[in-house]
Every structure is written in C-alpha cells, then in structure tokens.
Amino acid sequence: MRHSAFLDSVTDATSKCCNVVRLLADYLEHQLPPAIQRELEQHLQRCPRCVAQLHTYQSTVSLLRSVREEELPPELRLTLKAFIDAKCHKN
C-alpha cells in the first residue's frame, strides 16, 4: 500500500478515519513508514471510533488465526472472503 501523506491528504475527520482504517493491517504488521505510524498513533489517541475499529480488527485477525483453514467448509470460506472484500472496498 502507498503510505506517503496518506493521512495528510484529507482534512475532514470522516475521511481521515477511513484512511486510518485502510492502514490498520499494515500498522499491526509493522509495515508502515515511521512517520505514517506516528501520525496514525496520534490519530488513535484522539479518536475512540478508530480505536474501536483497531480492536475489532485485532479480534478478527486473532479469531481467524485460531481457526485452521481445513476446518472451514469451502462455501463458508468463499462467503467470508466476499464479505471481507466488500467491506474493504466499501471504505
């Protein structure tokens, strides 16, 4: 994902929050450049909605890691993937 000035590119709070949500995966995997990580963390200090999104994302990742792939029926795997893709592209 391209990160440079990603959070600075918008001024309204809703758009900034959408940008933060798009960066959460890279943030949790420590893949953000230091300047973007600092900016994201500053935003999280001021924004309870984004903190809630972060916690939800962390819980989802943890839950998915606890489920072995072969335990999911193929139909459920496809449904889950479609749901996640739709949510990611909605924002």
Tens digit of pLDDT for each residue in 50-80? 999 999 999 998 888 887 666 778 888 899 8
Predicted TM-score (pTM) of this structure: 0.61
Complete domains list, the chain, with CATH: 13-90 (1.10.10)
Mean pLDDT score, 12-16: 70
Q: How are the residues of the chain apportioned to helix, strand and coil, as percentages rounded to the nearest 5? A: 75, 0, 25
Lookup: tokens for 42:
């500053």
Rounded Cα gap, residues 20 and 12, in angstroms: 12
Sign of CA dihedral 9, 15, 16, 18: negative
pLDDT at residue 87, as a whole number: 77
Neighbours of 72 (CB within 10 A): 14
For the segment 1-23, the average pLDDT, to the nearest whole number, is 67
Mean pLDDT of the chain: 82
* Residue 69: DSSP 8-state: G
